[in-house]
Amino acid sequence: MRQFLEIKDRHPDAIVFFRLGDFYEMFFEDAVVAAGLLDLTLTTRDKGKVDAVPMCGVPHHAARGYVAKLTDLGHKVVICEQVEDPKLAKGLVRRDVVRIVTPGVVVDEDALDPKAGRYVAALVCGVAPAPPSPARTGRHAAPAAEPRPTPAPPRWGLAYLDVTTGEFRATELASAAAAVDELARVAPREVIVAAADLEPDGAAAPGAPIRRFAAVWGAAPVPDLDDARALLAAALAEPLADLATARPLLVRAAAAVLAYARATQPSGSLPIARLVAYEPSATMVLDEAAIANLELVATLVGGQRTCSLLEVLYETATAPGARLLRRWLLYPLTDLGAIGARADAVTDLYAAGELRRELRQQLRTTSDLERLAGKATLGVAGPRDLGRLRDTLIALPALATLAAPAPRLDGAPALNDLRTVATPALAALASRLDAALVEQPAALVKDGGFIRPGHDPEIDECRGLADGGKDAIAAIEERERARTGIASLKVRYNRVFGYYIEITKSQLARVPDDYLRKQTIAGGERYVTRELAELEAKVLAAQDTLAAREAELHRALVAEVAAAYQALLAAGAAIATLDVCVALADVAERRGWHRPTVDAGAIIDIKDGRHPVVEALVPAGTFVPNDARLDADREQVVLVTGPNMAGKSTFMRQVAHIVILAQVGSYVPAAAATIGVCDRVFTRVGATDNLARGDSTFMVEMRETAAILAHATRRSLVVLDEVGRGTSTFDGVSIAWAVVEYLHDAVGARTLFATHYHELVAMADDRPRVHNVSALVREQGGEVAFLRRIVPGAASRSYGIDVARLAGLPRSVIGRAREILGRLEGDGGALPSGRRLAARPPGQLSLLSDGPPAPRADPREAEALARLRALDLDRTTPIAALTALAELRALIS
């Protein structure tokens, strides 16, 4: 208990798994918490006492699952093992912490998603020099002068680390909002931050918005710049150069996360070679809203990976490839050369046809070199891991040869050359592993038998002895049967007595005198002999030596692998790159995608574009392709009108997807596309409520819109869906109008703007770069059919009532709605209530105003209509629709 309390003292915020024999036990509060979460029975050793210590335990062989569950629930687990051999220990066996498992620092492969990095991040807030900001050029007019705060706002250093692969990146961000956006891309499981940086009243006060981003927030001290510099310099292969001066917050965050991760591995080191310092503005910026709204990696509703754009692309054959693909998708490039290099590689592989399929087969057989190298460095690689690593290394040269017909995979500096990473050193490592290990090594060292016969004389000798012992035992059994005449005589083994002879009751009379009785059992007696005891000693000694020697050789092999981890990570990265390019080529061929032209121009021109996800969901061949054209100099703002369900959102999202895919270096779902490179894609789609943030729908909508207007440039792509919908018609239409004006007059960003405010279409008349397109519907015999074709020009009318009819509103309500609409459109906009449409303001807005009472004013009908209009059919479940219908009917009958 003293040992436990000492360890608990050092880790008050963690659940301590304390090894006792074959169990990990938990005590006190830990036991209470764990028993509840893991569904374990809470017991105590000192039953009946008042201050009985609560405890619970899990068998050591099943501990991994329990640990994974606790960390998934946001707990830290401290693993304490016996660090002395109980046989050799004097008195109490010493125990110590061998590993700390936290939500962000997990090394158990079974608990990890092979397709995603497992990150722990650190955030540091402070005042630091801002980088020289690229001027926001190309605006058509200066925005109305807004007072800018003079004192430098606090900046944020963000660093994140995947201890299983050594991926280690850091950046600096200009605001808490930018930090939130970057956290959304990284999706760490755990974030550490100084408590003061998160205090709601602190100067930085990011509080809640940042907090959403990880299940776990550890408040840890952050090293100062000098300590940080020293720590990183010691850990990294490459010098920091002037990073510490230019990016002090980045450096401190990197040191903080590294120190934290190190502390979790007291007995292993981390596979870290390189700190990648990056600028978010060096690649396409995708903020939280864009990632979510465009469903890049998860669906908007439910947060599932299925039905995301990533899922469409997931044709990768390896885990490192899957992880790299995710990063490529979330960080599309803006550098034309780098985009072209990737697309060239994809093109070569696309053309490679049959060979590509062969490559894919080969890739499938490779193992996760990054995580295997990581495991070796962390000291947790088993014999089977080494075997997998060996097999992959052996396959490497063949893979490189196979990839040769895709020459442009190597040419570009951004891509890794498989041939240069398959170094002689790795080949030598592979042959050493191969010489030492059997074909299929066991998973665990204690299972033994993984060293190849003939590799180590000592092991061969021990095996000979152990095996010889077995032969000798068989011989003894034979001989004793003959000597005693007891045919059922058996030589057996158990852990308590070692080897013994068992004789059944009926034969006891024949037992010779030199047998020593050891134990009486139900069916007979057990004996030992001198000869057996001697033999046993020899066999056991041989087995012990064998196990120790195998473990020793294993440790040496692991150390050798660990020493090569940088080369292994490079090889893993090269395999990942090849895999992603093969996957992109596969997707392109399978789905009929084409290579886009990405240039520095101001145009986005898409021929026969398709939505990659929706196309896969609708019956084959039924997706309707659409052209799209945006041009910062001409068709800069494209207003998309048309009824609900006509395909507006799909159209706009597919344009954004095509732009993103093009800048990833992928082919795109279109017959042809020219993409003038975008620095950022903004979206504001639908009225999703963000309850987690505690904001109203409208607040979220306006905040996202504000961010767009503040940060969009002429190089950006802006996709806005139904802005202003979350408030009253008056406010909504006014806001939508002003937003379009601002985007047109001040920002100049290429913009797709879907609206159900038909008033806006008139903007095309006096704003030169505003264009109208609409989603075509066909009316036939009073029926409305959605053609999903986007055509030039504004929608002639909104078809809201038609959609309401399709949704099943009663005929009388539909009839009445048509009547009222007719009156609104026909005679000066009179409503049944007596209110009427006002004279049109300068922008031809149709607004409601009070007027003389209309003849058949019925306030209940007006109320019914108002409610009908307010119904958001996109978000109404069938039950809610029926309920609403019943209420409407009650109101008018």
Binding site for ligand ADP (CB under 6 A): 614, 618, 622-624, 642, 644-650, 775, 788
Amino acid found at 232: L
**Bridge partners for 73 per DSSP:** none
Nearer to ligand ADP, 122 or 775 (CB): 775
Q: Are 650 and 643 in contact (CB under 8 A)?
A: no
d(CA 559, CA 561): 5
Cα distances (Å, whole numbers) of residue 553 to 435, 445, 586, 629: 12, 10, 43, 65
Tell me 317's DSSP state.
Answer: S
Least Cβ distance, residue 872 to ligand ADP (angstroms): 11
CA neighbor of 385 nearest in space, from 368, 397, 364: 368
Q: What residues does 772 pair with on adjacent strands? A: 639
Least separation in angstroms between residue 774's CB and ligand ADP is 10
Closer residue to ligand ADP (CB): 360 or 611:
611
85: which 2 tokens? 């051999």
CB of 608 vs ligand ADP, minimal distance in Å? 11
Q: How far is the CB of 785 from ligand ADP (least distance, A)?
A: 12
Grouping H, G, I as helix, E, B as strand and the rest as coil, residue 218 is strand
Placement of tokens 């017959």 in the chain: 671
Q: How far is the CB of 622 from ligand ADP (least distance, A)?
A: 6
* 170 versus 777: smaller Cβ distance to ligand ADP: 777
Nearest residue to 584 via CA among 732, 406, 376: 406
CB closer to ligand ADP, 256 vs 624: 624
Q: Is the Cβ of residue 106 or residue 776 nearer to ligand ADP in the bound state?
A: 776
Query: Rounded to the nearest whole angstrom, what is the least distance from the CB of residue 293 to ligand ADP in the complex?
Result: 12
Beta-carbon contacts of 10 under 8 Å, excluding residues fewer than 6 positions away, are 97
How far apart are CB 799 and ligand ADP at their closest, in Å?
Answer: 10
CB 604 within 8 A of CB 637: no
Question: Is residue 636 packed enough to be buried (19+ CB in 10 Å), middle (13-18) or exposed (0-12)?
Answer: buried
Helix (H, G, I), strand (E, B) or coil at 133: coil
CB of 652 to ligand ADP, least distance (A): 8
Give the 3-state DSSP-derived string for 784-850, with helices as H, strands as E and coil as C.
Answer: EEEEEEEEECCCCCCCHHHHHHHCCCCHHHHHHHHHHHHHHHHCCCECCCCEEECCCCCCCCCCEEE
Q: Smallest gap, in angstroms, from Cβ of residue 789 to ligand ADP? A: 8
Q: CA 112 to CA 235: how far, in whole Å? A: 25
Quick check: helix, strand or coil at residue 777? strand
556 by DSSP, 3-state: which? helix
Contact 34, 70 (CB under 8 A): yes
Task: Compute CA distances 438 → 147, 230, 453, whole Å.
Answer: 72, 43, 8
Choice between 575 and 794, CB closer to ligand ADP: 794
Question: Nearer to ligand ADP by C-beta: 532 or 624?
Answer: 624
Instruction: Kindly tell me which of 362 and 705 has the beta carbon lying closer to ligand ADP.
Output: 705
Our CB check for ligand ADP shows the closer of 565 and 623 to be 623
Query: Which contiguous run of DSSP H or E holds residue 121?
Result: strand 120-126
Residue 786 Cβ, how far from ligand ADP at the closest point, in Å? 7
Amino acid code (one letter) for 529: T
CB 618 → ligand ADP: shortest distance, Å? 5
Q: Are 154 and 126 in contact (CB under 8 A)?
A: yes
Say how far apart CA 356 and CA 76 lie, in whole Å.
Answer: 44
166 or 625: CB nearest ligand ADP: 625
Least CB distance to ligand ADP at residue 330 (A): 24
Residue 133 or 622 having the CB closest to ligand ADP: 622
Query: Which phi and psi angles does 626 have, rounded to 5°?
Result: -135, 145
Query: CB-wise, 290 or 719, nearer to ligand ADP?
Result: 719
Min separation Cβ 623 and ligand ADP, Å: 4
Candidates 84, 96, 80; CA nearest to 16 is 80
Q: Are 670 and 732 in contact (CB under 8 A)?
A: no
Q: At 314, is the secondary structure helix, strand, or coil?
A: coil
- To ligand ADP, the closest distance from the beta carbon of 754 in angstroms equals 6
User: Nearest Cα to 805, choosing from 771, 776, 823, 779?
Assistant: 779
Distance CA 100, CA 77 (A): 6
In the numeric block, the tokens 């066991």 are attached to: 442
DSSP letter assigned to residue 747 = I
At closest approach, how far in Å is the CB of 409 from ligand ADP?
35
- The smaller minimum CB distance to ligand ADP, of residues 122 and 719, is found at 719
CB of residue 721 to ligand ADP, shortest distance in Å? 7
89: left (phi over 0), alpha (psi -120 to 50) or beta: beta
Of residues 393 and 719, the one with the C-beta less far from ligand ADP: 719
Q: Which is nearer to ligand ADP, 112 or 624 (CB)?
A: 624
Closer to ligand ADP at the Cβ: 174 or 624? 624
